[in-house]
Chain A
Amino acid sequence: MPEQLLPTPGQTVGPFFAFGLDYPASHELVHPHSPGAIVLSGTVFDGAGMPVPDAVVEIWQPDADGRIPTARGSLKRDGHTFTGFGRSLTSDDGHYEFWTVAPGAVDAGKAPYLLVALFARGLLDRLFTRIYLPGDDAALAADPLLSSLTADERATLVARRTPAGHLEHDLHLQGAKETVFLEF
């Protein structure tokens, strides 16, 4: 049986999404500096290599043990419940940032990652991508998606670990380093 209803098309979030989509602690999946907390940050770039100051980055992820959260409270954070969802509006220099925990693998042997939805003024529909954790080379090599990509493409999906243990990952809408975006 095919889909019976045709989907509603997407549209850009436009420039004034902040007062519709912003809310306190939207980018704090965990309390900053709490045990196990890391910063996941990066810059969103356009095809000219310029930072995109009016983008929204959303993440959705399992907890550190690979459990998929079912708790409510992503909009009104209580400071201790892990809901797995975060939203960061890019700053004037295109920077996004989350406080979160490194996700665990949902299935043993699978490479853990965070799922990303990306929105921006000028971007007519949301984009999906994944941010994989660096380090476990065997799991990354075995991942079905990563292993289907060229080395350059794979590099756009795996974060860098900073000396402090945080994660950095840039998102490129276009250009030589264009991020691999996904459909499902």
Chain B
Amino acid sequence: MTQQAPAPESLLATAVQDEQSTISREIAELHAERDRGPGTGVEIDFAPYRSSILRHPTKNPKLADPEAIELTSPAYGQRDVARIESDLTLQHTGEPLGERIVVTGRVLDGWGRPVRNQLIEIWQANAAGRYIHQRDQHPAPLDPNFTGAGRVITGDDGSYRFTTIKPGAYPWKNHRNAWRPAHIHFSVFGSAFTQRIVTQMYFPGDPLFALDPIYQSIPNQADRERLVAAYDHDLTSPEFSLGYRWDIVLTGPKAIWSEPEEGEH
């Protein structure tokens, strides 16, 4: 096993610690000069996120005709994921600290069809904004009753449901006084491997949105809002948890779009 934990802490800091005002000005300039049409997705060349400067490809991706392996995806099922893995509050002997939440929604393809029996993995900081990771040395408390990782398999209607704790905002080393908005990382497989996505779900009304170069790497406001869950009081349980709803839409291959077959809806 050659696998190791990633990224020594020293590698996470940028060499020059810019002021937030510098980062915010760069974000505003980049948004002003970019096409703000709908559905443009994320910008991978987004210098206010300093770590992206040397890690984004500079050439346009080549449009490839997907072959059979690209139009399929790994198969998952309860053999892979135990039901209890979707409840992050039950992984230890005691109750984790923080605001207990339910996050639910559906995984859909571009035509609104459910993506069934596929794996969703999530990971997140605890309520104090600390990851249970040896390289997260942010001096917020670790929670002995919270690991912050969960898995689920989508149902026949593409639905998923996690019970967890609302993560806290946390500092990072992109610039001076950089803080990430509270977020949950989502890894999602589709029915084609080309639908594979890793993204982040945010919480409504976060005051850090405007300041965060990762959230702002999405040039279009409507696209950014696509990553923000909706608070849903109907999902909120009396005396127990608050509810959030968040749907995930996966892309289909561009190269061979065709009419969906009858009966597939």
Contacts and interface: CB of A to CB of B under 8 A. Distances in A.
A136 interface: no
20 contacts: A9-B42, A10-B42, A10-B199, A12-B214, A14-B185, A18-B6, A19-B149, A20-B122, A20-B149, A20-B185, A47-B54, A68-B69, A74-B80, A75-B76, A76-B80, A149-B62, A182-B62, A184-B63, A184-B65, A184-B254
B127 to A, nearest CB: 16
A69 B253 CA distance: 20
B52 A123 contact: yes
Interface string A28-57: 000000000000000000111010111100
A127 B198 contact: no
A91 B136 contact: no
A174 B54 contact: yes
Q: Chain A at the B interface: mostly helix, strand, loop or mixed?
A: loop
A123 B56 contact: yes
A71 B79 CA distance: 10
Interface in B205-237: 214, 217-218, 222-224, 226-227
B217 to A, nearest CB: 5
Q: Which secondary structure characterizes the binding site on chain B? A: loop
B194 interface: yes
Contacts, number: 263
Contact of B66 (A73, A126, A184): A184
Given A88-B3, A178-B58, A68 B72 contact: yes
B111 A7 contact: no
Given A19-B149, A97-B2, A182-B62, A106 B69 contact: yes
Interface stretch (B17-25, B26-34, B96-104, B243-251): B243-251
A72 interface: yes
B3 A7 contact: no
A145 B42 contact: no
